[in-house]
Amino acid sequence: MKAVAATVKTIVYPVGDLTRAKAFFGALLGTQPYMDEVYFVGYHVDGREIGLDPNGHRQGMTGPVCYWHVADIRESLQRLLVAGATLRQDVIDVGGGKLTALAVDADGNIIGLVQEAGV
């Protein structure tokens, strides 16, 4: 089986109160967000992205989701499905050509995939 390079670079937390969460994560991370929108707040920390999703709970997130950055999201998603995962969210463009997808493993863990724009 061919090795596939994947790295966890993004962790997204579902939050109920975005204002309160921004204050908490700002204190925790010691920085201001690089992106501060009503639908997503993102921080860059040591080469990682920490995100706050105010819609996460409504979308079924029960806790933080780690997003694995991959070179070919469709191939990676297919590998997970063949290995027994179920599809949670098919590949979508979340803006600027950045693609995301979600799968659920046999234990109910949500696995996020990201393919950066231009890859």
d(CA 87, CA 6): 19
Residue 3 is predicted with a pLDDT of 55
- Structural domain of residue 30, as residue ranges? 6-115
Q: How many domains does the chain have?
A: 1
The CATH number of residue 70's host domain is 3.10.180.10
Please tell me the predicted confidence (pLDDT) of residue 99: 96
Residue 1 lies in a domain: no
pLDDT of residue 2: 54
pLDDT per residue as tens, the chain (119 positions): 455 678 899 999 999 999 999 999 999 999 999 999 999 999 999 999 999 999 999 988 889 999 999 999 999 999 999 999 999 999 999 989 999 999 999 989 999 999 998 87
Q: Is 29 a member of any domain? A: yes
Asked if residue 44 is part of any domain, the answer here is yes
Half-sphere exposure for 79 (CA within 13 Å, toward CB): 14
**Distance in angstroms (rounded) separating the CA atoms of residues 119 and 97:** 9
In this predicted structure, what is the pLDDT of residue 1? Answer: 46
Residue 26 covered by a domain = yes
- Distances, alpha carbon 32 to alpha carbons 22, 40, 71, in Å: 9, 14, 29
Q: What pLDDT is stored for residue 59 in this prediction?
A: 86
Q: How far apart are CA 107 and CA 119, in angstroms?
A: 30
Q: How much is the pLDDT for 91?
A: 97
> Tell me, what's the pLDDT at 77?
97
Please report whether residue 94 resides in a domain. yes
Would you give the distance in Å from CA 111 to the centre of its chain?
8
What is the pLDDT, as a whole number, of residue 39? 94
With respect to residue 53, please indicate whether it lies within any of the assigned structural domains.
Answer: yes
| CA of residue 109 relative to chain centroid, distance | 13
Q: Are strands 41-45 and 35-36 parallel, antiparallel or unpaired?
A: antiparallel
Per-residue confidence (pLDDT) for residue 38, from 0 to 100 = 95
- Helix ranges (H only) for 57-114 are 73-82
